[in-house]
Structure 1
């Protein structure tokens, strides 16, 4: 009997998130996708297998209410393999510490840290009976290397890495977790980086060069590698990984 795979994916409407959802759906997974908007094109391509929840992950009260309603448990109740892919994230605010707006900082920490950690905890509780359960945080090289102007992005991505390290030490009844850096991907976030003033992000020219020289991976290329890893026996053998360093 074929294995049933159910996946929860955040930020599935564009870029890497859309490519990750597409890659999983193309491998016969059924997906519950969480984003502020729906992905009509993806839903049309995979009728009946893409379920969408419209949530702003910066609104932690709304996310908490949705989780309390038991949506995850109802979706995950009938699977052999269950996956959580915490992909949604944001770069802003960019710039020196004194220029960072407090509200923008709070939104970034909510989307990049609080929401993934809330979802991971709820997923672990709701998937306790599944024989194969996996959590993937989509991290960044910025989690492991500091960049001027990116103090919030670096700190929030580093939080995901350290969360995975600590969770891996717990008795999680077979749950695998890994915080995975996807490499430098040609997404709207890259366009945002290249549109940032040099005084706010002094290393911008490095990213201009990557784009100009065709060194950015496409979302589809990175998603394929990420999903290969997510579904492999190697996933979770280390709590952090970089997709560029995997064989």
Structure 2
């Protein structure tokens, strides 16, 4: 079993990579920074996933994806598109154009480029699976979260359309992980209420210990990813599956 995990340096991505390693997978981590806690246990490539040219370079012949996927064998090949950013946060008409562009590049362009590259590179494999880490924000509209919600909705629709392609051996799903105790949650709590009117709700979730740990969430996500049920519904919420 081989798995590619984006944003493996911290948070849910680090937990996903660790969970896969514990299950015997060979893992390739893609992020701007490495993960010292996992050093020696996986392959790591430093890459700015918000740079489309850098993402495309990963898939050139002889490049990192080519080398990692060579001789994949009979086991499943997994792509976990986890990397993302919640910024910019704020009402429409107040957002930094450069941050909007970076969010779209990281949250949408990179997952779509990587999905296409991995699907192409694994043609003929009997079991290849693509997991987009989505969000409930892509399915319900929240004030101040227009860009983040739109990018996650894009992943949901990408999964639906790719599933409709019915490529042999391919399963894909865009799965919302629930509310996980990560740096993203901390960023929401630190945002002024005039930028994010739902701030108090997220402060309360932390105060009430209502956040899921990255490790618990990762275990459930991997259980689903490796199950026979994965991909039956291309858009799912992990809280409805476990």
Q: Which residue of 2 aligns with 1:223?
A: 218
What secondary structure sits across from 2:147 in the alignment? helix
Matched pairs, number: 239
- Preserved CA contact (<8 Å) 1:10 1:33: yes
Q: Distance in 1 between matches of 2:226 and 2:204?
A: 33
Q: Which residue of 2 aligns with 1:170?
A: 165
Q: Which residue of 1 aligns with 2:54?
A: 62
Q: Tell me, yes or no, if structure 1 residue 73 matches structure 2 residue 70.
A: no
Q: Tell me, yes or no, if structure 1 residue 127 matches structure 2 residue 102.
A: no
- Preserved CA contact (<8 Å) 1:77 1:127: no
Structure 2 residues not aligned, in runs of 5+: none
Range that drifts further, 172-181 or 66-75 = 66-75
Structure 1 residues not aligned, in runs of 5+: none
Q: Which residue of 2 aligns with 1:17?
A: 13
- The ranges of structure 1 where at least 4 consecutive aligned residues each deviate by more than 6 angstroms after the TM superposition are none
Please give the residue correspondences for 1:20-169 in structure 2 after superposition, counting only pairs within 5 Å: 20-44=16-40, 46=41, 50-69=42-61, 70-79=63-72, 80-169=75-164
What secondary structure sits across from 1:121 in the alignment? helix
What is the aligned-residue RMSD (CA, Å)? 0.9
What secondary structure sits across from 1:97 in the alignment? coil
Q: Deviations over 1:13-60 (max 9, x none)?
A: 00000000000000000001100011111114x2xxx00110001111
What secondary structure sits across from 1:24 in the alignment? helix
What secondary structure sits across from 2:93 in the alignment? helix
Q: Distance in 2 between matches of 1:198 and 1:55?
A: 33
Q: Distance in 2 between matches of 1:95 and 1:171?
A: 38
